Amino acid sequence: MDKAYDQQLAQHLASWYQYGKESENTHEPMDTALFRDYISHVRTFVSSQVIEAAGKVRVNSIKLNFYILNLFISDALNRDSLDLIERCIFLVCLDQSETNDSDEEDGFVSFSKAVKRDFVSLGDQILHGGKTMLNASNRWYDKTMQFIIGTDGLLGLNYEHSPAEAIAVIQLIEHLFKYIEEKSHERFRRSKSLCELPIPHRLKWNLNNFLRQNISLSKELLRDAINDFDLYILKFTDYGKDFPKQHNMSPDAFIQMCLQFTYFKMYNKLVSTYESASTRRFHFGRVDNIRANTPEALEWARAMVDESGNISAAEKLRLFRQAMQAQTDLMVQNILGDGMDCHMLALKQIARDNNFPIPDLFLDPGYALSNHFNLSTSQVTTNIDNSFICYGAVVPDGYGCSYNVHSDNILFCVSSFNSCSTTNSREFAESLTDTLYEIRDLCTLVQRQQQTIALRRPSYAAKLAAQKFISSNSIESNEHNIT
């Protein structure tokens, strides 16, 4: 994992090579054509064997990796190379094309010829290098930020979650895209030749037989992890956040209840659910947890599958709104610092730090179950076209589900593990699609029923006007009779 360094000391980025920083007197980017030549120059002396060996030593189990790492850095050359990686601002991973359709001598594909790929293929490559493992070792998974660039036009970021939340990373990426759009090509600074640029230095490593054996083991562990990962990306296009807004509903609470009901339909129960709630308004604040699996959500889910015919559509919608309100109340509590999870974690950690006996509460099976998040969810909002954020499930028998709610569509990234016989990302996404239609139909049905009732039952003002009309006619009639 990255070490804490003074950011003023970070003077380089890395792509398995050390690059010096540009001139201190300019923040303008180099000419794109020259940068292309520069990268091509680097690619001419890439040693894939060295890269593979160094990269895969980082994907072993934590305990074994700690032992191997200590042995690895006992060599001065390895220690210096690792130090450069840990201190660099970020990594740049130059991936090979999964499709192998490059038609230019330097291996790059022009934008006009870039291969169109499905989201799952792109997500797999960004997360772990791809199912083919072609780029799996071209990563340093402990690095906070790895910018990944493919010869077929792929562009993404793999980031280690510990130092930062998604919102900070999204803001960074959106800033970069905005900068690129605002900077015209003519304003890019031109250098006369490659000689003006800092010379890249390949990082070198010393590997003995024991390290090579464990690298081979890491390769198999990585292959197993990649094959176990099940990603499905759903783009629901029949409506987006405009629909719940039209019905005076919070889009986030709406989606969270849809996720709860989807899980309930598949497993006939609700489970511990994690939804991140930002506490950034506090000093050093990061996130707390909104637990969407509330009693109100369970009551509504049971009503939705009730086949007795005794629960009306209006009552189901009322319970739905009640569940969303409970979700919203929890969200407000969390962002204001009144959440439960961080408080409980702090108490447990205080006991550990002071060598106190762990309180019985934290040893109770119920507490362990409450922290076994079968549903790990997060709203990740960005307006960048054709972009998404995905991650893995946090427990072996769970789902990871990020979502980005646009005005007219919703993008879900559902993940699980193939090794679990009870989970399936595609089935969850398909059930979620049915849920979105069910809730839309429920809201529409109740709205129509209310409109029909309104037509059949005139308002108080209409009744009053009718009474005045009748009264006026009666007076006129009496006056005529008197005359």
**Would you say residue 469 lies in a domain?**
no
At which residue do the structure tokens 């990796």 appear?
65
Task: Report residue 180 CA to chain centroid gap.
Answer: 23
Interaxial angle between packed helices 48-56 and 209-228, expressed in degrees from 0 to 180 and rounded to the nearest 10: 80
Report the pLDDT value the prediction gives residue 376, as an integer from 0 to 100: 97
Domain-embedded: residue 474: no
The pLDDT value given to residue 64: 64
Residue 129, phi-psi category: left (phi > 0), alpha (psi -120 to 50), beta (remainder): left
Q: Is residue 295 part of a domain?
A: yes
- Residue 38's alpha-carbon distances to 43, 99, 196, 211, in angstroms, are 9, 24, 11, 33
pLDDT of residue 55: 53
For residue 38, what is the domain's CATH number?
A: 3.30.559.70
CB neighbour list of residue 252: distance below 8 Å, 6 or more residues apart: 331, 379, 405
Radius of gyration (Cα) for the chain, nearest Å?
A: 29
Residues 254 and 209 in one domain: no
Domain range enclosing 200: 7-228
Pair 395, 371: CB distance under 8 Å: no
Predicted pLDDT at 290: 95
Same structural domain, 215 and 243: no
470 occurs within a structural domain: no
Q: Do 203 and 269 have their domain in common?
A: no
Same domain, 223 and 269: no
Could you tell me if 40 and 30 are in contact, meaning their C-beta atoms sit under 8 angstroms apart?
no
Tally of structural domains, the chain: 2
Q: Which of 201, 228, 255 is the last residue of a domain?
A: 228
- The single-letter DSSP state of residue 30 is B
Same domain (yes/no): 101, 211: yes
- Verify that 150 and 274 share a domain, yes or no: no
Alpha-carbon distance 58 to 141, whole Å?
7
Mode of pairing for the β-strands spanning 91-95 and 145-150: parallel
List the catalytic residue out of 12, 27, 128, 161.
161
Whether residues 210 and 257 share a domain: the answer is no
Beta-carbon contacts of 41 under 8 Å, excluding residues fewer than 6 positions away, are 194
- The CA distances from residue 141 to 18, 145, 219, 249, in Å, are 18, 9, 14, 40
pLDDT (0 to 100) of residue 288: 94
Note whether residue 483 is domain-resident: no
Going by DSSP bridges, is the β-strand pair 12-14/155-159 parallel, antiparallel, or unpaired? unpaired
Is-catalytic flag, 283? no
What is the pairing mode between strands 410-417 and 229-236? antiparallel
114 with 169: CB under 8 angstroms?
A: no
**Domain final residue pick, 206, 228, 250:** 228
Same domain, 394 and 423: yes
- Is the domain of 333 the same as that of 405? yes
Q: Considering the domain boundaries, does residue 204 fall inside one?
A: yes
Assigned token pair, 151: 């010869």
The predicted structure's pLDDT at residue 48: 45
pLDDT, residue 179, reads: 82
pLDDT, residue 212, reads 87
Assess if residue 463 is contained within a domain: no
Quick one: which H or E segment has residue 35?
helix 32-43
Full pLDDT tens readout for the chain, 483 residues: 556 555 555 555 555 455 554 444 455 566 666 667 667 766 665 544 444 555 555 555 566 677 788 888 899 999 998 898 888 889 999 888 776 554 444 444 444 444 567 899 999 999 999 888 888 888 888 888 999 998 888 889 999 888 888 888 899 999 988 887 777 555 555 555 555 666 777 888 898 998 888 888 888 888 999 999 999 999 999 999 999 999 999 999 999 999 999 999 999 999 999 999 999 899 988 999 999 999 999 999 999 999 998 999 999 999 999 999 999 999 999 999 999 999 999 999 999 999 999 999 999 999 999 999 999 999 998 888 888 999 999 999 999 999 999 999 999 999 999 999 999 999 999 999 999 999 999 999 999 998 877 666 655 555 555 565 555 554 444 444 433
CATH classification at residue 380: 3.30.559.10
Q: Is 245 in contact with 251 (CB distance < 8 Å)?
A: yes
Cα 102 to Cα 67, 150, 160: the distances in Å are 41, 11, 30
Both structure tokens of 463: 């009744």
One domain, residues 191 and 306: no
229 close to 415: Cβ distance less than 8 angstroms: yes
User: Backbone phi, then psi, for 244, in 5-degree steps?
Assistant: -60, -35
- For residue 377, which of 450, 463, 273 has the smallest C-alpha distance? 273
User: In this structure, are 281 and 213 located in the same domain?
Assistant: no
Given 198, 228, 258, which residue is the final one in a domain?
Answer: 228
Residue 480 lies in a domain: no
Give me the DSSP letters along 45-82: T--HHHHHHHHHTTSS-HHHHHHHHHHHTTSHHHHHHH
With contact defined as beta carbons under 8 Å apart, do 39 and 94 qualify?
Answer: yes
Contact 251, 406 (CB under 8 A): no
Question: What is the rounded distance in angstroms from the CA atom of residue 377 to the CA atom of residue 405?
Answer: 13
165 within 8 A of 172, measured Cβ to Cβ: no
Do residues 345 and 208 share a domain? no
